Amino acid sequence: MNDKTDKLSALMDGELRDADNVLDNLEKDESMKQAWQRYHLARDAIKGQLSDFPTLDVSAAVSESLKSEPVILTPIWQRMNPRFVMKQVAGLAVAAAVGTIAVLSVQQAQLTTTDNNTIAKANTQPAKTQLASTPAQIRQVSFTTRKKLDAAVESKLSGYLVNHNEFSNSVRVSGVMPYTRIVGYVPAASSKQVNNDK
Amino acid sequence: MINKFVSFFTLFLITFSVQAFQSQADVEKWLARMHHAAHMINYEGNFVYGQNNDLTSMQIIHSVDKTGEYERLISLDGSGREVIRSGDTVTCVLPDKKSVVVDKSRPDAEFPPMFPLKIEQLLKTYSFHFGEDAVVAGQKAKKLVIKPKDKYRYGHSLWVDANTGLLLKDHLLDENENIVELFMFMQVKYPDVIEKSRLVSKSQTKKFTWYEAKEFKDKNNVNKSMNWRVTSVPTGFVPGVQRHHNMTVSAMPVEHFMFSDGLSSVSVFVEKKMKSSKNLIGGSTMGAVHAYGREVGDYHVTVVGEVPHATVKMIADSVEHVKH
């Protein structure tokens, strides 16, 4: 069992050479399958801590799981390599920061469905409303996803985007564009937080 | 008479091609100046950045010395978010999440950075011309219009500071000339010296949670043999980095392919499907960035880039497994 979970841990950390072999076992072995799912749940919990998506209450799912399987879950947390946890969290935070763009696409999709409440919420800042109604407004791209993307898919896309930006060799003329995309986002949830702090 | 005509015609051809060559050289000169200014001079100012129906305001402070580039990008919209670049370290300060994230940029990043553009390559897919001179953020600006020759990439209108070469304003345009992304300085200064103290965050970062990524150790994974290949890309897109990569978003190593036409780039990610993870199926848009995902057997392909939908779809549809 220890050897198996070590391998699972290595697999998640991306440090395993014969990944295919472990994956085959994973398909057959029910206990490993469950452990794998819990690893992911644990990782999602880390993600949930920094997530931009308030609807994605992974922590609740984790505590539910803790209630039902306290004996099994505890050792998994201990087993998790702290270095690995750190790496995941760091990457995810950046992803969450960039997630901005992904979130914007959702908001845009909501706006195009002409939900009046959503529009009102999106335009809480008067300056923004004014700008949006000027003739020089930025036109929406004709291709839009009409339905809201799954939070997990959003998060994944953000991660891809971070990696894309990191390795993109195009000038993006000024070179600041990728980071501009990160900084430029004011999440609705966070403004509430700021108010609470005051 | 015929001789005379031929020599006149030859002269005409020479004059014409010299002119074309000159304007081509001019374009290259301005692109190189822009690239140089963005990285190699001191500047600071406020700018707006917009995509879809929203605008945000930001401040940038950029300084450079013998040791490298330093840059601080600050959101002015209340979140207090900052991205600070110092050498190869990227620090994201996220007061709204009470966290600081320290990351390394790609390992082979050079200083001073190389000018990545080859005008011959660009001319295959874009045409260039100079527009009317204008004034942006109080500075005399040269306008450079870049038009794509097909629907697989965006166009640009660039306004470049005539004195310093810094990009002051940028419109990213789709095939109907709609603006999909924009950037414009409202005010810009070029100080001789920028105090180092201005390049650190003013947020109370000590109280935040710090996350530090370990050193980038993917070097060995670059350009090793790939199990997948991309069989069709729009004209002008050439392959760049190929690597096996362990990503935070996926438990499994991902195969990552880059393609670029010189101005825009596209990433292809292929990974084994896991029950626990959800992937994009079909298209999605995030301002200028488009993404397209599809399943190929037990694998999932996601294509992301600052290009139109048609490009990411074409590339995603062409991905196939290599039979070794």
Collect all residues of chain A within an 8 Å Cβ-Cβ radius of residue B277: 40, 152, 156
DSSP string, B26-41: HHHHHHHHHHHHHHHS
Reported as a pLDDT band with limits 50, 70 and 90, residue A176 is: very low
- Determine, yes or no, domain membership for B8: no
Claim to verify: residue A106 and residue A170 sit in the same structural domain: yes
Claim to verify: residue B206 and residue B280 sit in the same structural domain: no
* Residue B88 CB partners (closer than 8 Å, separation 6+): B104, B105, B107, B109
pLDDT value for A124: 37
- Determine, yes or no, domain membership for A194: no
Claim to verify: residue A99 and residue A162 sit in the same structural domain: yes
pLDDT value for B36: 85
pLDDT value for A114: 33
- Determine, yes or no, domain membership for A11: yes
Reported as a pLDDT band with limits 50, 70 and 90, residue B132 is: very high
Taking 50 as the threshold, does the pLDDT of residue A193 lie above it? Answer: no
- Determine, yes or no, domain membership for B12: no
Claim to verify: residue A76 and residue A92 sit in the same structural domain: no
Q: How many domains does chain A have?
A: 2
Evaluate whether B262 touches B246 at the Cβ level (below 8 Å): no
Claim to verify: residue B135 and residue B232 sit in the same structural domain: no
Claim to verify: residue A51 and residue A122 sit in the same structural domain: no
CA–CA dist B269, B249 (Å, integer): 12
Average pLDDT, chain A: 46
Domain boundary among B212, B229, B252: B212
CA-CA distances (angstroms) from residue B118 to A171, B27, B121?
A: 12, 11, 5
Distance to chain B for A176, nearest Cα, Å = 8
Domain boundary among B188, B212, B236: B212
- Determine, yes or no, domain membership for B136: yes
Range of the domain at A53: 2-80
Domain boundary among A80, A107, A122: A80
pLDDT value for A66: 40
Range of the domain at B64: 19-212
- Determine, yes or no, domain membership for A198: no
Query: Tell me, what CATH number does B123's domain have?
Result: 2.50.20.10
Claim to verify: residue B127 and residue B264 sit in the same structural domain: no
Average pLDDT over residues B155-174: 91
- Determine, yes or no, domain membership for A31: yes
Instruction: Flag if A179 and B34 touch (Cβ within 8 Å).
Output: no
CA–CA dist A41, A36 (Å, integer): 9
Q: Which of A90, A95, A159 sits opposite B212 (nearest CB)?
A: A90
- Determine, yes or no, domain membership for A197: no
**B31, B47, B53: which to substitute to probe chain A, counting the most A Cβ within 10 Å?**
B53
Reported as a pLDDT band with limits 50, 70 and 90, residue B303 is: very high
Claim to verify: residue A31 and residue A94 sit in the same structural domain: no
Average pLDDT over residues B119-140: 92
CA-CA distances (angstroms) from residue B81 to B74, B180, B227, B322?
A: 6, 23, 40, 43
Claim to verify: residue A103 and residue A170 sit in the same structural domain: yes
pLDDT value for B207: 83
Instruction: Say which amino acid occupies A120.
Output: A
* Residue A62 CB partners (closer than 8 Å, separation 6+): A41, A42, A44, A45, A48
Evaluate whether B277 touches A137 at the Cβ level (below 8 Å): no
Query: Tell me, what CATH number does B232's domain have?
Result: 3.30.200.100
Claim to verify: residue B31 and residue B112 sit in the same structural domain: yes
Domain boundary among A61, A80, A99: A80
Q: Which of B106, B214, B285 sits opposite A83 (nearest CB)?
A: B214
Highest mean pLDDT among A146-150, B136-140, B301-305: B136-140
Claim to verify: residue B236 and residue B292 sit in the same structural domain: yes
Claim to verify: residue A100 and residue A182 sit in the same structural domain: yes
Evaluate whether A115 touches B299 at the Cβ level (below 8 Å): no
pLDDT value for A63: 43
* Phi, psi (deg, nearest 5) at residue B16: -65, -45
Collect all residues of chain A within an 8 Å Cβ-Cβ radius of residue B250: 156, 159
pLDDT value for B251: 60
Taking 70 as the threshold, does the pLDDT of residue A55 lie above it? Answer: no
- Determine, yes or no, domain membership for B203: yes
Claim to verify: residue B229 and residue B203 sit in the same structural domain: no
ipTM of the complex: 0.77
Instruction: Flag if B253 and A86 touch (Cβ within 8 Å).
Output: no
**Please, what's the b/e burial string for B236-259 (b: 16 or more CB within 10 A of its CB; e: otherwise)?**
bbeebbbbbbbbbbbbbbbbbbbb
Claim to verify: residue B185 and residue B158 sit in the same structural domain: yes
pLDDT value for A121: 37
Q: Which residue of A has its CA nearest to B169?
A: A174
pLDDT value for B168: 92
Average pLDDT over residues B133-150: 95
Q: What is the pLDDT of residues B28-87, one digit of tens each?
A: 888 888 888 888 899 999 988 887 677 888 888 999 988 888 888 888 877 788 888 887
Reported as a pLDDT band with limits 50, 70 and 90, residue A64 is: very low
Claim to verify: residue B240 and residue B279 sit in the same structural domain: yes
Taking 60 as the threshold, does the pLDDT of residue B291 lie above it? Answer: yes
Distance to chain B for A71, nearest Cα, Å = 22
**A101, A141, A143, A185: which to substitute to probe chain B, counting the most B Cβ within 10 Å?**
A141
- Determine, yes or no, domain membership for A36: yes
Domain boundary among B177, B212, B247: B212
Claim to verify: residue B139 and residue B240 sit in the same structural domain: no
Reported as a pLDDT band with limits 50, 70 and 90, residue B210 is: confident
- Determine, yes or no, domain membership for B143: yes
- Determine, yes or no, domain membership for B5: no
pLDDT value for A113: 31
Claim to verify: residue A74 and residue A97 sit in the same structural domain: no
pLDDT value for B244: 80
Instruction: Flag if A131 and B55 touch (Cβ within 8 Å).
Output: yes
pLDDT value for B268: 95
Q: What is the pLDDT of residues A86-123, one digit of tens each?
A: 333 334 444 444 333 333 333 333 333 333 333 333 33
- Determine, yes or no, domain membership for A196: no
Taking 90 as the threshold, does the pLDDT of residue B149 lie above it? Answer: yes
B88 or A98: which leads in pLDDT: B88
Average pLDDT over residues B120-146: 92
Claim to verify: residue A23 and residue A47 sit in the same structural domain: yes
Q: What is the pLDDT of residues B240-260, one digit of tens each?
A: 888 887 665 556 678 889 998
Domain boundary among A56, A80, A104: A80
Claim to verify: residue A180 and residue A118 sit in the same structural domain: yes
Query: Tell me, what CATH number does A57's domain have?
Result: 1.10.10.880
pLDDT value for A75: 32
Average pLDDT over residues A26-44: 60
A85 or B307: which leads in pLDDT: B307
Distance to chain A for B20, nearest Cα, Å = 24
DSSP string, B118-140: -HHHHHHHEEEEE---EEETTEE
Q: How many domains does chain B have?
A: 2
* Interface size, chain A vs chain B, as Cβ–Cβ contacts under 8 Å: 263
Claim to verify: residue B94 and residue B183 sit in the same structural domain: yes
Q: What is the pLDDT of residues A149-166, one digit of tens each?
A: 666 776 677 677 767 776
Taking 50 as the threshold, does the pLDDT of residue B216 lie above it? Answer: no
Taking 50 as the threshold, does the pLDDT of residue A191 lie above it? Answer: no
- Determine, yes or no, domain membership for A65: yes
Claim to verify: residue B223 and residue B206 sit in the same structural domain: no
* Residue A67 CB partners (closer than 8 Å, separation 6+): none
Average pLDDT, chain B: 83
Claim to verify: residue B202 and residue B224 sit in the same structural domain: no
Whole-prediction pTM value?
0.64
Claim to verify: residue A180 and residue A92 sit in the same structural domain: yes
Claim to verify: residue A60 and residue A143 sit in the same structural domain: no
- A170-174, B98-102, B163-167, B289-293: least confident range: A170-174
Collect all residues of chain A within an 8 Å Cβ-Cβ radius of residue B56: 184-186
